[in-house]
Amino acid sequence: MTTMSQAESEMPANRRSRTGKRRLWRGLRQQWKLLGLFEIDPQHEFFGMTQMMKEGLSAAVQNTIDNPLTDDLSEDDFKTEVTQVHQGFQMETFAGPVFARLRHSLGMTEKDYQHSLSSEGCYLQFISNSKSKADFFLTNDKRFFLKTQNKREVKFLLSNLKIYLAHLESYPHSLLVKFLGVHRIKIPRREKKYFIVMQSVFYPDERINARYDIKGCQVSRWTNPPPEGSHVIVILKDMNFEGKYVTLDEQGAWLVRQMKIDTAFLQKLNVLDYSFLLAHQPLHRDERDQSHSLATLIMRTKKSVDPGSSPTHAGVPCVPGAVLEEDSALLVSEMDCGSDSFRVTETHPSDGMIPLQELQGGAAGTSADSELQEFQVQNRRLLPNFKNPLHVIDGPDLRYFVGIIDIFTVYGFKKKLENLWKRLRYPGQAFSTVSPPAYACRLCQWVQDHTK
């Protein structure tokens, strides 16, 4: 049994209480650091700023709720800056209508988005081993990431926003992280803070049992793993994944192909040093043995492949999870099960189309069996009623969370000098700072070599 020291025993009771609270706080702080997350409560250094973020974001989203989207985006929408004045600070929102349209295309309602960003629970600080000076925060439900950015990075994103959206329109299941908002906080007599909001690739994370940050190289790409059975959250790296594989069976070809498409896009932006995030969790037995009707599979995929549901249109959301199960008017007009694309049409039996009910029953149902089987193989990554389906893909035994993040490092003069220095320092070894074509090729090769 422990006893108080003489100095402590001589303290007034209220002071001893404060000392005990500080010790408890330090202990909790250390635990959260070990877990990689740190709750930002009133004693935290970032509490004031995150409270401003929450208040400002709630008002910014309310502005889009009160001002419904128009049918088409204009050039002015990409350049708009809205300033809202709050007590003690101002919040600026950049290209608000554009990001609102993107959120809509991802199946998010503005109310749902607003609720996650401004719920009563405290934000979480993510303890990152990133070399940048950025601060990382998570909403209390862990659904959205907020990351501070410098002015150059924000200008880079906004200047390329139109082609970023066009890429997501062409490839609705792109692995690129989904940016949902760009903002700036102005506090009197303090430095302006830029930050972005994006979807968390690792959501929901409750059962994730391994996380990796992959760059396709070897130098400085090892992290000491946590002890077996530990609940400590550690982001592992390339060398930790050696001898392991992403097992997707037929879906593996899709992942490799999409990786090549996305990295080719990033190569055009002349960027490097981005990361391929990878995590996995075991599938439950009912998830491994799931069988879906053709109607359900069509409804799960329609919104993500219908051209009218792209980020630059005002149509219905393209996320499979956003499709209402009662949407019984869906009928098949054309489906190419041998590729990643197909088209479905909303119509009615009176239009002369064959209803899905007929495809699933009788002789028509028998003829559709092979198509259904192949359709399931090509679209297992589309999960119904899942709030983050674009970054999730199922294998036979594991559910994988995948995404490409940190796309702001331009291959300019400084990076070229760094490349030269590392070539001298690490002869014959693979390091991260290489030209954008070499970086894209190498990362694609890593994914191909580690996928089966």
* pTM, to two decimals: 0.75
Please answer whether residues 430 and 217 qualify as being in contact, where contact means their C-beta atoms are separated by less than 8 angstroms: yes
Average pLDDT for 241-249: 93
Tell the burial category of 29 from Cβ atoms under 10 Å away from its Cβ (0-12, 13-18, 19+).
middle
Average pLDDT for 247-267: 93
When comparing pLDDT for 447 and 106, which is higher? 447
pLDDT at 304: 41
Q: Is the pLDDT of residue 335 over 70?
A: no
Average pLDDT for 129-146: 86
pLDDT at 113: 96
Q: Is the pLDDT of residue 262 over 90?
A: yes
When comparing pLDDT for 133 and 55, which is higher? 55
Q: Is the pLDDT of residue 83 over 90?
A: yes
Average pLDDT for 361-365: 42
Please answer whether residues 93 and 82 qualify as being in contact, where contact means their C-beta atoms are separated by less than 8 angstroms: yes
Q: Shortest CA distance to 173 belongs to which of 421, 429, 449, 402? A: 402
Q: What tokens appear for 165 in the block?
A: 């959206």
Quote the distance between the C-alpha of residue 53 and its chain's center: 19
Which of 2-16, 178-192, 322-336 shows the highest mean pLDDT? 178-192
When comparing pLDDT for 20 and 64, which is higher? 64
Q: Is the pLDDT of residue 43 over 80?
A: yes
Q: Shortest CA distance to 246 belongs to which of 195, 210, 289? A: 210
Q: How far apart are the C-alpha atoms of 228 and 346, rounded to whole Å?
A: 52
When comparing pLDDT for 383 and 242, which is higher? 242
pLDDT at 13: 60
Average pLDDT for 269-295: 79
Average pLDDT for 183-210: 93
pLDDT at 58: 97
Per-residue pLDDT reduced to its tens digit, 428-439: 888 888 999 999
Average pLDDT for 259-278: 97
Average pLDDT for 97-109: 92
pLDDT at 32: 46
Q: Is the pLDDT of residue 94 over 50?
A: yes
pLDDT at 321: 31
Q: Is the pLDDT of residue 301 over 50?
A: no
Please answer whether residues 181 and 91 qualify as being in contact, where contact means their C-beta atoms are separated by less than 8 angstroms: no
Q: In the predicted model, what is the mean pLDDT of the chain?
A: 78
When comparing pLDDT for 305 and 404, which is higher? 404
pLDDT at 71: 80
pLDDT at 133: 75
When comparing pLDDT for 56 and 355, which is higher? 56
Please answer whether residues 215 and 275 qualify as being in contact, where contact means their C-beta atoms are separated by less than 8 angstroms: yes
Structure confidence at residue 118 as a pLDDT band (50, 70, 90)? very high
Average pLDDT for 128-153: 87
Q: Is the pLDDT of residue 292 over 60?
A: no
Percent of the chain scoring above 90 in pLDDT: 50
Respond yes or no on whether the N-terminal peptide bond of residue 204 is cis (omega within 30° of 0): yes
